[in-house]
Chain A
Amino acid sequence: MLVSAEPIACHDCGQLHRYSPLAPGKTANCTRCGAVLYRNRPDMLDSVLALTLAGLVLFVLTNVFPLLGLRAQGAEQELHLLGASLAFWDQGYPLLAGLIILNIIIFPLFELLTVLVVVLTIRYRWRSSTAIFLFRWMSEFKPWGMLEVFMLGVLVAVVKLGDLATLIVGTAFWSFAGLILTMAAATALLDPFSVWRALGKNNG
């Protein structure tokens, strides 16, 4: 065979490389297109675990407390994350309501729980079949989780409503902002190559 023990292909352009261990903190790039092949982050698992646990707490807070409130001529209206997801349902668009529930509740929660299971599986060397299944589907669903896009939507709505009535920014608004930051940081730290490599090893 021409290829050495562990050949790897660039995720972007398919160029073949040979895996060789990296010094801590270093990154390997594709020789053809420059995409990141893999990184060596010594504290990856612990940092991601901490961020994910924080993310789960923030996720609960975000869903329990109201996101925005509106006061107009004595009447008051509150909006929870679930209320925003279901708003289209009340308007007769169940498909849209379903899409938004998936985008801002189901997929983000699925991502948080998956990362938790994956990190614990690698850390404690559990059997990895469940983690492999979950991580695979998380990679496929990733673009459909849209928390940060929703946050931009909240900001646009806040400005639009500014001159209509008195706006109350709820507790969930801030936990939501924190949730986006923790999830972004966890995504940035988690190196898919290292995860797949570790999961593949546990299985065999």
Chain B
Amino acid sequence: MAEHDALLQCRVCGCLSHASTQLKRFEVMHCPRCGARVKLAQQSNSVEVTWALLIAAAILYIPANMLPIMSVYMLGAGQPDTIITGAYHLLEAGQWPLALIVFVASIVVPLLKLFTLSFLLISIQRRSRWRQHDRMRLYRITEYVGRWSMVDVFVIAILTGLVQFGNLARVDANLGSLSFAAVVVLTMFAARTLDEHLIWDITRQEESHT
């Protein structure tokens, strides 16, 4: 199937176009319909960029979990909460469904995302042919689920915005929330820059040889 090589697909609008001429160095091709940049296969640095973002996120994941994300002051006595203790307090209060939501969204999802994207990158780099459909599905789920991790950041925003009663009760944001939001943003960018079509590259090349 020769048309695989000749046609380029725009990542934004899906429109197909021909790479009519050989591009010069630093020259960029734009989609004829929507104007988005169309990357040629040899220009793709998706794997490297995704690795960089993932490693940055993995490093920030440590302070995000070690540092307190917010402090609750009741009658002057303060108590800083990390992500884990925040979820644990909900559990203690008997709110186990919410504790579960917070635990999954803030701890399980970012961690799974780091592992899943690393796994996908390694399998792409090893040119693996193993269960391409499932890896594709795994990528779609990872990409979709990532944004739900922001829920804890929103909770902190709502609590700090609402609970300001001087000495009576007060909620303050702490540095951990910044690191945590950075982890979410970086992993979202990582999922976005990972070119999922690379999962199929090996099959595509084989098809074009036969």
A: residues with CB less than 8 A from B are 2-3, 7-9, 11-14, 16, 33, 68, 70, 72-73, 75, 77, 79, 83-88, 90-91, 93, 95-96, 99-100, 103-104, 132-133, 135-136, 139-140, 143-144, 146, 149-150, 152-157, 159-161, 163-165, 192-193, 196, 199-200, 203
Which of the segments B42-50, B116-124, B151-159 contacts the partner chain? B151-159
CA distance A159 to B177 in the complex (A): 20
Whether the Cβ atoms of B2 and A2 lie closer than 8 Å is: yes
Residues from chain B with a CB closer than 8 A to the CB of A140 are: 12, 36
Dominant secondary structure at the B interface: helix
Max chain B Cβ within 10 angstroms of own Cβ: one of A95, A156, A163 = A156
CA distance A81 to B38 in the complex (A): 38
CA distance A99 to B188 in the complex (A): 13
Whether the Cβ atoms of A165 and B169 lie closer than 8 Å is: yes
Dominant secondary structure at the A interface: helix
Chain A, residue nearest B199 (CB): A13
Whether the Cβ atoms of B150 and A14 lie closer than 8 Å is: no
Whether the Cβ atoms of B147 and A70 lie closer than 8 Å is: no
Minimum C-beta distance from A117 to chain B (A)? 15
Beyond A149-B148, A149-B151, is A100–B34 a contact (Cβ under 8 Å)? Answer: no
Whether the Cβ atoms of B7 and A3 lie closer than 8 Å is: yes
Selected contact of B15 from candidates A75, A144, A200, CB within 8 Å? A200
Minimum C-beta distance from B62 to chain A (A)? 19
CA distance A120 to B110 in the complex (A): 40
Whether the Cβ atoms of A100 and B157 lie closer than 8 Å is: yes
Residues from chain A with a CB closer than 8 A to the CB of B88 are: none
Residues from chain B with a CB closer than 8 A to the CB of A149 are: 147-148, 150-151, 154
Whether the Cβ atoms of B16 and A8 lie closer than 8 Å is: yes
Whether the Cβ atoms of B16 and A7 lie closer than 8 Å is: yes
Whether the Cβ atoms of A77 and B15 lie closer than 8 Å is: no
Minimum C-beta distance from A29 to chain B (A)? 14
Whether the Cβ atoms of B14 and A11 lie closer than 8 Å is: yes
Whether the Cβ atoms of B148 and A196 lie closer than 8 Å is: no
Minimum C-beta distance from B162 to chain A (A)? 4
Residues from chain B with a CB closer than 8 A to the CB of A132 are: 33-35
Q: Across the A-B interface, how many residue pairs have beta carbons closer than 8 Å?
A: 175
Give me 6 A-to-B residue pairs in the complex whose CB atoms sit less than 8 angstroms apart, sorted by A's number.
A9-B7, A75-B165, A93-B173, A104-B154, A161-B159, A193-B14
Whether the Cβ atoms of A196 and B14 lie closer than 8 Å is: yes
Chain B 176-202 per-residue mask, 1 if CB under 8 angstroms from chain A, else 0: 011001000100100010001100100
Selected contact of A87 from candidates B15, B143, B173, CB within 8 Å? B173
CA distance A200 to B17 in the complex (A): 13
Within 8 A of A (CB), among B72-131: 90, 93, 95, 98, 101-102, 105
Beyond A9-B7, A14-B9, 5 additional pairs, beta carbon < 8 A = A86-B161, A87-B157, A93-B173, A143-B188, A152-B154
Chain B, residue nearest A155 (CB): B98
* Any A CB within 8 A of the CB of B59: no
Chain B, residue nearest A99 (CB): B181
CA distance A81 to B173 in the complex (A): 18
Whether the Cβ atoms of B153 and A152 lie closer than 8 Å is: no
The 8 closest A-B pairs by CB, nearest first: A153-B154, A87-B161, A157-B158, A91-B173, A136-B34, A9-B9, A87-B160, A196-B13
Residues from chain A with a CB closer than 8 A to the CB of B178 are: 93, 95-96
CA distance A83 to B163 in the complex (A): 12
Within 8 A of A (CB), among B1-36: 1-4, 7, 9, 12-16, 33-36
Residues from chain A with a CB closer than 8 A to the CB of B163 are: 70, 77, 161, 164
* Any A CB within 8 A of the CB of B133: yes
CA distance A183 to B155 in the complex (A): 22
Residues from chain A with a CB closer than 8 A to the CB of B52 are: none
Residues from chain B with a CB closer than 8 A to the CB of A104 are: 154
